[in-house]
């Protein structure tokens, strides 16, 4: 039987990679440029589309599709465990993020697969945005 993928354990959490809100209030956010409407992620001081500093935070639907992925069977460090899936997800709002896929069998993953965010606690003040298949 193929294992169901879980999150990487023991990965250092950087502020840029996390959503700094209590998990019970968590939502995935990105920045939308007021000048050109480009969606910016990760957070930035200057729009990647037009260099404007006029950026507003917006709540993401947390839904998107898998652009690309790989399943890691030999992790760089033993404490990471395996297997796990690293993926690039295109969010419906027009930005792309690097993440992990969880609660899915490796053979089920495919390009274009619909996914939704699965916010999981990483300490007391942070959650990390993983993605799981959007089955409905
Ligand atoms: Zn812009």
Q: How confident is the model at residue 18 (pLDDT cuts 50, 70, 90)?
A: very low
Of residues 129, 4, 120, 134, the one with CA closest to residue 60:
129
Which residues make Cβ contacts (< 8 Å) with residue 28, sequence separation at least 6?
19, 59, 60, 62, 91, 117, 119, 129
What distance lies between CA 96 and its chain's CA centroid?
Answer: 8
pTM for this one? 0.82
Distance 53 CA to ligand 1 centre (A): 8
Q: pLDDT tens digits for 99-118?
A: 999 999 999 999 999 999 99
Distance 43 CA to ligand 1 centre (A): 13
Query: What's the whole-number mean pLDDT along residues 76-82?
Result: 78
Q: pLDDT tens digits for 82-103?
A: 899 999 999 999 999 999 999 9
All domains in the chain, ordered by first residue: 18-26+62-133 (2.40.50)
Distance 41 CA to ligand 1 centre (A): 12
Average pLDDT of the chain? 85
Q: Which residues pair with 61 in a beta bridge?
A: none
């Amino acid at each position: 039987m193929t294992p169901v993928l879980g999150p990487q354990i023991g990965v250092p959490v950087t502020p840029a990679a996390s959503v700094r809100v209590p998990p019970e209030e968590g939502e995935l956010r990105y920045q939308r440029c007021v000048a050109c409407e480009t969606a910016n992620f990760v957070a930035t001081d200057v729009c990647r589309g037009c260099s404007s500093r006029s950026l507003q935070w917006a709540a993401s639907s947390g839904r998107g599709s898998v652009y690309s992925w790989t399943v890691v069977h030999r992790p760089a460090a033993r404490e990471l465990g395996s297997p796990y899936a690293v993926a690039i997800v295109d969010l419906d709002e027009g930005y792309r993020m690097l993440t992990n896929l969880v609660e899915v069998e490796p053979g089920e993953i495919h390009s274009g697969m619909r996914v939704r965010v699965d916010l999981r606690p990483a300490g007391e003040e942070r959650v990390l945005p993983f993605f799981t298949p959007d089955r409905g």
